[in-house]
Every structure is written in C-alpha cells, then in structure tokens.
Structure 1
Amino acid sequence: MISDLNFGLPLEYQLMPDWFDAHNIKADTEDKNASLLETLSAYDVKSVLDMTCGTGSQVFHLSKHDFDVIGSDFSPELLKIAREKSKALGKNLSFIDGDMRDIQVGRFDAVITMFNAIGHVSKHDFLKTIGNVRNNLKPGGFYVFDIFNLEAMSDDAIKSLEVVQEKEVGSARFHQHQISQIDHERGLMISTDHYDIHWHDGRREQCQNTFMLQIYTADELKDLLQQSGFAVVKQTELDGSELIDDKSLEILTVAKKLS
C-alpha cells in the first residue's frame, strides 16, 4: 500500500497480527468509539464503510447501534481476526479485502478511516484515497477521519506519545517501547518500536521496527479536501472538544462530499 517514500508499517499489521488489539485497543478506545458514534449520528448517517477496519473495533461498535456497516482493510491477517470475532459473537458482518486507495464497495452515507490510518500513505496517495472515498459516498455523504496534528508536535508533545507497555498475548509476553520524532519540514512522524518477546516455552526474541506517518496541519487537510471536492464542515479533537491549532495532538475531521 505504501508508495513514494518507504513509510514502512507497524509490525502488528502483517507479521504480528495477534499483537494488534493489545497495542491498539486501550482504556480510551470505547470513549473514542462513542465520540465517533456521536459524530455520525449528528449527521443522520445510517450506512458506513470503514475503509481501514483492522480487527473491526469501529465496525463492531457501530453495528451494536444499528448502523449498516461494512469493514475493509489491506491486511488479510487482521481481517481474519475480525471475521473470527464476528463469528464468535454470532454476527454476520462483512469484512472485505481491499486497499483504501482503490477499493469499490458501494455508496454509503459515510466513509471512515480512523486512528491515523491515512498517515500510512504519502500526500500523493492521500489525495488518491480522498478521490476514492468520494466514489464510495452517496451525494452529500461524509468522510470522517483523524490524524495527528503537525502544528502541535512540539518536543514535549512527542515525548508524551512515548509508549511503554507489557502484555500477555497468546503464548507470549510482549514488552514494547515506542519512541517517535518529527520531521516538520516534510510533515513526517517517525516511530521506532523495540519489542522484547518472552515465549512461554522459554524462547526470547528481540526485534526493532521503524515506520513513518504523514501528518498534517488542520489547514493542510482543508486544502487537500477542497482540491478533491469536499467541504470541511467540522474539525475538533478526537473526543469532540474544541480544536486548538498548536495544542491539540489529534484532529478529527468531518468533510462533506460536494456535488
């Protein structure tokens, strides 16, 4: 999925899918999903395509609240987990293999790409993705997404995003340490993960991985969306609170497809 720069990907996207939920589902995940639900409900959205669904967190949350929702993702391993969850819950939710830059599913009231998913593609491919989002929206439909805020990425802000966690997952205990830095000139957030994995059979494995996110200011997002036939109707923090350009670490954007 990555082109232009060698952005790389977090290891849990392909090589360590069992670690994906442990890394990404945290204490505030339900609050963030509730905020997304509130946002979509405010615009009378009924049908949703989650173009970057991972293991299905937003799909499952929205389906509980009677949204007609389909998930898609470029990672077969994450989709496998999502389908297994759906089966275990006795649900018949649809999860489709596909790249957000070109997947064609149908016409929806809203398309979402949450938790910095758009950061995994270059600016060129973000524009391609926005064009494809339009193709999957009904007239007047909404694109809802979040991304880290480049303008707020001070040294202190980057330090606050450091991750140190240890969790038991399957047959191993994972210790993860993630540190990041910012290239303001290119708008890149560069993160390095250090993993120390202790398997229950006594084996120990250490690995390191570096990946990048393309991040933006609020004004840059407005410009890119306007170029692609959208009007930005709302920009807030992820919890729906007021966006402060040089303080808010994340931007939640709601953009409407223009005729």
Structure 2
Amino acid sequence: MKSTNPDDLERLAAITPSGAMKRQIEDAIFENLLATDPEAALKRAKATDAPLVAAVQLAKIGASLLTSDPEKAFGIGADILAACPEKLAPEKRIDIGSNNMSWGAEPNTATKFMESLLIKDPSRTLEMTTAGSDTVSATFRDLSRKWAERDLPAYTDWVNHQSDPGIRNAAASQIVSQLSSQGHFQEAAEWAMSGQKPDPGNLYNLAIQWSRSNREDASAWVESVNVSEDVKSNLRSFLKHNE
C-alpha cells in the first residue's frame, strides 16, 4: 500500500469507513509523507485528532532526527507529551493467573522514542514530563523507573535537587524500590521518610519488601517509624496479611 499513489490513498481514506482498513490507509499516507516530505508529515501528525495516533506519528519523526538534529527531536518529545500528558500507550487487561487480572501497557513507538530521549539526556526528559502539570503522570513514573534501574546514583542526585513535594515523593519511590530490591532496607527506609510529607505508599511497599527478607527487622522498623497511628496501623496490617 505504501507504493500506491498518495492522491489515490487520500481519496480512498476519505470514502473508507472508520475501522482497521481506514487506519491502515492513513498509516500508509503518513509513511509516504515521512519518506518524501518530513515537514508535511510533522504538520499532519500535529493535526491528528487521536492523541495516541499523533504520539506514535510524532515519535517516528523524532526518531529520524535523534542523531542529525537532537534539539528538534526533544522538541517533538515535548509535542508528544502535550498530546498525551498522562500515558503514551493504551492499557489492556492482562491475565496474571489464579483468576486475577492486572492492567498494563505494551511499549509502542512513542514510549520507545521517549526512552531514547531518556538515554540521551535523562534529567531533561524527566523535566519535560512534569512541565506545566500539577500531577505526576504515568509517563513520568515509567521513565523515572527506567532511569533509576539504569543509573541509580545519577538518578538519586537528580531527585535530591527536586523542590516540588509531589514530584520528589513520586521520584523517591523509585529509589525506595531499587534500594529494597538490592536489600538496602535501612537506606530505603530513610528515603521513604524523606521529604516534607512522606508518601504512605512508599512505606507500605518497603514494609512488604522488607518483611519478605527479614520479618523481625521489618516489624521493628514499623514500630519505630515516626508516622501517624493510622499509617502505623495500616503498616502492621500489611505485614500481617503478607505473612
């Protein structure tokens, strides 16, 4: 379909009802533009009404510029986040066994492109995900986890420079998770309690991880940690229900 005359594809798209076939035709139109007129492809992607489709199309353009024009690639990354401020891939239900279901998202062109930006300049990429937003997005959580997994010292240094409590707590959760997975529970506990208002979610996750390694130490920490009685009671319940 990519070799079909572009004008014919446009006419075909105009008369094709919504569905898989129309999406294939529109994809072919975009791929033709990307190969022959990248600026027109960029204009078309920005005009696309469907945010997730726009994100994927923009990512294809951005990926082609990563080496030749990284500044423009980062600009396109900002366009992607503007189109999809919360998440870059649709979620779907996943069967995890024992009649349990979970929700997850498969990596797509947009998520992979943002990961490429993260590798090139991690701090700039994370800051792009929080620009102009009062909430912490799923994209921020995903990219911060990947940076923490790849280079925990550099990521920790970045977190230490964050002044927004919401961003810092969300970012610190990745440090707590990484330190816990490495068995550094005391250090993880310090991070879980850091910040102006510690996130109870970080405390609960740490308590569970710690109890799996050493229940006595985890219980002793729960009794000593300086939190409200409600949070402490919930921590005790978490430990009891995960025996």
Question: Which one scores higher on RCO, CA 8 angstroms, separation ≥ 6?
Answer: 1
Higher helix share: 2
Superposition TM-score, scaled by structure 2 size: 0.26
What's the TM-score, normalizing by structure 1? Answer: 0.25
